[in-house]
Amino acid sequence: MSSTLGIAVIGAGKMGSDHVRRIGRTVGGARVVAVADPDGDRAKEVAAGLEGAGAHTDPAAAIAAPGVEAVLIASPGAAHEEAVLHALARELPVLCEKPLTPDPAGALRVMEAELRLGRRLVQVGFMRRFDAEYERLKELLDAGGIGRPLFLHCRHRNASSPAFFTSDMLISDSVVHEVDAARWLLGQEVTAVTVLSPTATAAAPEGVRDPRFVLLETSGGVIVDVEIFVNCGFGYQVQCEAVGEAGTARIGDGHAMVVQSAGRWGGEIDQDFTVRFADAYDRQLRRWVAAAARGRIAGPDVWDGYAAAAVSRAGLTAAHSGTRTAVDLVERPALYH
Ligand code: NAI
């Protein structure tokens, strides 16, 4: 390993270019040495400001480029598996944006490749685990500060959804964050999913079922409810209230600064996840870079990516069938205990 970790960034869209900027400005000990995007102009544009970084249209070529010691994958979910497998074939540490794969079968193929290597090299970008408020809630729950948890009440709202966003993506791309957060906060697996859909908001694109209400049941008997509303209009909001036997705890109220003036009081609502979770993305990347330099990971692993994909799959079945759907998980391999 060199003194600064050489990273190949796969996918140079919104998240990929945000991570590249982050590596240059806020994360020490790393540099981007290759950027890949099938849109060659996009790859060139993102690589242009980076000294010595090559632009590629083929992810495999970027991963094989000289000086690459770790791989950050920020392509669309359907492209993750192939890129992760290329990286694992070279035994390179990976940070893969969520979802690890869109379906559990793909995640299992990644798991098999990692099991063959016998060590965990792939971290999944469930960055809420690095958010200071989520960390405090986790510490409180682990310390028994509100007793045994009974409910998590979650709200996940976006101002508006991109044109390509479908009814299924509310579950597989958005609620998947709550799935991981709930599994991590509670230390339990999700065992069943039910999805209810009220009348769609007039702000939703034609045919998109938005908002939706998702109920998760866990192995420890906790009920997690999630309001997912991706065209709420007013901003980006992620809230979670834990209810335990001895109290409640709530995060995500966004009360950073309250202004009182001219007979009114109020504050600002973040408009975007890159703002609300900016610190979490920084911390995720810093800790991953430090771990990757030692050939390790420092966050959610392939098991977490697989479990989230299995819950997403059950969630889509539940949404389409209108019935409560059990989550099928394979036995957890010892590598992931
Ligand atoms: P985007 O559409 O802005 O960017 C994706 C880029 O990947 C595009 O430039 C596209 O040309 C490129 N691409 C397409 N196929 C590719 C392939 N086979 N290999 C390499 N690049 C390819 O999408 P965005 O929002 O940046 O999302 C990327 C990933 O990040 C997705 O997995 C998404 O779910 C995840 N994401 C994570 C968030 C988080 O909070 N952790 C938030 C938003 C997105």
**What type of residue sits at position 117?**
L
CB 107 within 8 A of CB 88: no
Take residue 26 and report the two structure tokens written for it.
């806020």
Q: Are residues 97 and 200 in the same domain?
A: no
- Residue 283 has φ and ψ, to the nearest 5°, of -65, -40
Say how many residues make up the chain: 337
Residue-wise pLDDT tens digits, 291-307: 999 999 999 999 999 99
Ligand 1 atom having least distance to the Cα of 17: 26
In short, whether 84's Cβ falls inside 6 Å of ligand 1 is no
In short, whether 40's Cβ falls inside 6 Å of ligand 1 is no
Residue-wise pLDDT tens digits, 100-114: 999 999 999 999 999
Give mean pLDDT, residues 282-288: 97
Q: Are residues 209 and 246 in the same domain?
A: yes
Render 7-52 in DSSP notation, one character per residue: EEEE--SHHHHHHHHHHHHT--SEEEEEEE-SSHHHHHHHHHTSTT
Q: Are residues 149 and 237 in the same domain?
A: yes
Q: Is residue 149 part of a domain?
A: yes
**Mean of all residue pLDDT scores within the chain:** 96
In short, whether 272's Cβ falls inside 6 Å of ligand 1 is no
- On the CB side of 114, how many CA atoms lie within 13 Å of its CA? 27
Q: Please say whether the dihedral angle defined by the alpha carbons of residues 111, 28, 11 and 58, taken in this order, is positive or negative.
A: negative
> Considering all CA atoms of the chain, what is the largest pairwise distance in Å, rounded to the nearest integer?
65
CA distance 277 to 270: 10
CA distance 200 to 221: 30
Residue-wise pLDDT tens digits, 212-234: 999 999 999 999 999 999 999 99
Q: Are residues 267 and 158 in the same domain?
A: yes
pLDDT of residue 82: 98
Give mean pLDDT, residues 147-167: 97
Report the run of H or E that residue 293 belongs to, with start and end.
Answer: none
In short, whether 300's Cβ falls inside 6 Å of ligand 1 is no
In short, whether 10's Cβ falls inside 6 Å of ligand 1 is yes
pLDDT of residue 26: 84
Residue 256, pLDDT > 90, answer no
Task: Tell whether omega for the bond before 76 is within 30 degrees of 0, i.e. cis.
Answer: no
- Residue 207 has φ and ψ, to the nearest 5°, of 85, -5
Take residue 74 and report the two structure tokens written for it.
């920020």
Give mean pLDDT, residues 199-215: 97
Candidates 250, 242, 251; CA nearest to 149 is 242
Q: Are residues 194 and 122 in the same domain?
A: no
Q: Are residues 79 and 184 in the same domain?
A: no
pLDDT of residue 188: 98
**What is the chain's alpha carbon radius of gyration, rounded to the nearest angstrom?**
20
Q: Is residue 73 part of a domain?
A: yes
Q: Which CATH number is 225's domain given? A: 3.30.360.10
In short, whether 221's Cβ falls inside 6 Å of ligand 1 is no
Q: Is residue 331 part of a domain?
A: no
Q: Are residues 269 and 162 in the same domain?
A: yes
Distance 127 CA to ligand 1 centre (A): 15
pLDDT of residue 3: 80
In short, whether 95's Cβ falls inside 6 Å of ligand 1 is no
Q: Is residue 335 part of a domain?
A: no
Distance 37 CA to ligand 1 centre (A): 10
In short, whether 141's Cβ falls inside 6 Å of ligand 1 is no
Q: Are residues 283 and 272 in the same domain?
A: no
Q: Is residue 206 part of a domain?
A: yes
Residue-wise pLDDT tens digits, 32-52: 999 999 999 999 999 998 998
In short, whether 11's Cβ falls inside 6 Å of ligand 1 is yes
pLDDT of residue 49: 84
To test the pocket of ligand 1, the residue of 9, 14, 15, 275 to mutate (highest count of ligand atoms within 8 Å of its CB) is 15
Q: Are residues 219 and 233 in the same domain?
A: yes
Q: Is residue 86 part of a domain?
A: yes
Q: Is residue 324 part of a domain?
A: no
In short, whether 273's Cβ falls inside 6 Å of ligand 1 is yes
Distance 13 CA to ligand 1 centre (A): 6
Q: Are residues 159 and 228 in the same domain?
A: yes
Q: Are residues 123 and 136 in the same domain?
A: no
State how many domains the chain has: 2
Residue nearest to atom 43 of ligand 1 (CA): 15
Q: Are residues 270 and 286 in the same domain?
A: no
CA distance 323 to 332: 27
Take residue 254 and report the two structure tokens written for it.
């966004």
pLDDT of residue 28: 87
Per the structure, the complete domain to which residue 262 belongs is given by 132-276
Residue 1, pLDDT > 80, answer no
Q: How is residue 268 annotated by DSSP? A: -
Quote the percentage of the chain above a pLDDT of 90. 95
